Each structure stands twice: as C-alpha cells, then as structure tokens.
Amino acid sequence: MLVLRLLNVVAPAYFLCISLVTFVLQIFVFIPSMFRDPSTTPLFSPALLHGALFLFLSANALGNYVLVIQSSPEDLGKDLNLGKGAEVADWLDGSRSPGSALPSTHFCRLCSRVTQRHDHHCFFTGNCIGSRNMRNFIMFCLYTSLACLDSLVAGMTYISATLSMSFADPLAFLALLPHSISQFFSGALLSSEMFVILMLYLWLGIGLACAGFCCHQMLLILRGQTRYQVRKGMVVRARPWRENLQEVFGKKWLLGLLIPVLNEESNYQRQKEK
C-alpha cells in the first residue's frame, strides 16, 4: 500500500514533467527550426499551422487532465445513500447492507473516497475514474495520444533535418536508437540530439498506450461496463449502445470533443434510473 501511495504522488509529477519537456521542445526547438518555406505567407506557414495544432491538442489534453482531477469522487460520496448509521469503514470490510448504495459504487483505499460507477484508480491523475469524470478521462487519453503523435512526427522531422537521415525505410526508426547510442558514446552525437531521440521513443510508447487504453475503454462503454465490474465479474443490465454512450458523453458530446467541459448530465443519471 505504501508503494501504491508513493506511485500515486510520483506518477502525476512524472506526467507533468513530460508535458513540460514536450511543450518546450515543440515551441522552442521544433517549430522555429522546421517547416521553413519562404514561398508561403506567414498566415498559412506550416510552422504556424503546426503550432496552432499542437496548442489545440495540448490545451485539450491538459484541460481534461485538470477536470479529471477536479471532478473528485468525494463529492459523489456525499450524495450517495450509505444507509442509516453506515460509515466509510463499511465499504472496507464489506458489511454494508444490500441496497444501501448505488450499484457499482466502490470505496478506494488510496483516495479514501466513494466513487459512483467506479472504473479504476488512475495513478497519473492521482484520482479515481467514475461516472463524473469518465468523459474527461477518455478525452484526456485521446488528446494525449494525438499530442504524442504530433510530437513524434515533429521530432522525426527535426532529427531527419539535423542528422541528414531519412525515415523512408520503416526499419530506420527501429535502428535509430542503437545507432544513436553508439554515436553518442563515441562523441559524434550531441547530448541535446540524443535527448530528442530518447523523447521520440517515449512519445511513441505513451501515445500507443493512451490510444490502446482509450479504445479499450470505449469498448467497455459501448457494452455498458466498467473495469471494476469486469474484474469483479458483475452482471450488468443490457442496454442499447447509444444509451451507454449518452450516459458517458451526454447529449452535448460534440462540445466535449472540442472543448474541455464537465458532463453534468451523467452525474446522477443512473441514480435516477434506479
């Protein structure tokens, strides 16, 4: 438990550090040194368009990240009917009476909070993911994967121009790391260039992980399930996939896709249905 609590503090700091490094590299290294085309007007220059795209992806990723943290499951726990005389400890030892709370509610030992429609505890946000912040969490994963992909393409373009190498061969990227390590220790490669190469693989790993997690989470949402229900073997009531999507993303799903906003429609929807 001590290790998990330590991870709950270190993981968000690690994510924010990676985000800061990515932002600095994009704004102060990649964009100024790449896409220089004198024939284009400044308004439609590739550097400006790329910068606008990166800022849009970063703003959505960071905005949804903040909303996931601010949407505390503790607020939901205050509105749940835990039953007369029930205490938080009842959620730990399993002594709560049947029907004393909504289905799929769960007490997290790391957060010390009750989460409605608990899915899992996210260490990178230091918060539990439930009905209130599920949409923001999915949007956070989506835009983080897109921002990593954007940074990966920009970084490869920068390395290609700096080291005069081509990535036309798909295997060139796989051979880049061992080749650059040997050049770095031989003194032929600068430490800044080596750092960018390491960041390329980090962006690739984070982007693929977030994209895979987002796809798997969407599959569970379409089936009307949560990770907690699957792990505990709980049987859920079959509903049309459109209702499951609307419960998570709300009727104004397009707004949430473009702008980081809370989905207030889904907070107590399941409670009203029950």
122 among known catalytic residues? yes
Distances (CA, A) of 244 to 93, 118, 120, 135, 250: 31, 15, 18, 12, 10
Sign of the CA dihedral 61, 64, 68, 69?
positive
Which long-range contacts link 268-273 to residues 24+ away (Cβ below 8 Å)?
268/79, 269/131, 270/102, 270/103, 270/116, 270/117, 270/131, 271/102, 271/116
Helix (H, G, I), strand (E, B) or coil at 105: coil
CA distance 8 to 201: 24
CA-closest candidate to residue 267, choices 65, 64, 73: 73
143 touches 61 (CB < 8 A): yes
CA distance 268 to 132: 9
112 touches 43 (CB < 8 A): no
CA distance 132 to 64: 12
Tell me, what DSSP letter sits at residue 29?
I
Helix (H, G, I), strand (E, B) or coil at 19: helix
Q: Catalytic one among 17, 108, 111, 122?
A: 122
Q: Which residues are catalytic?
A: 122
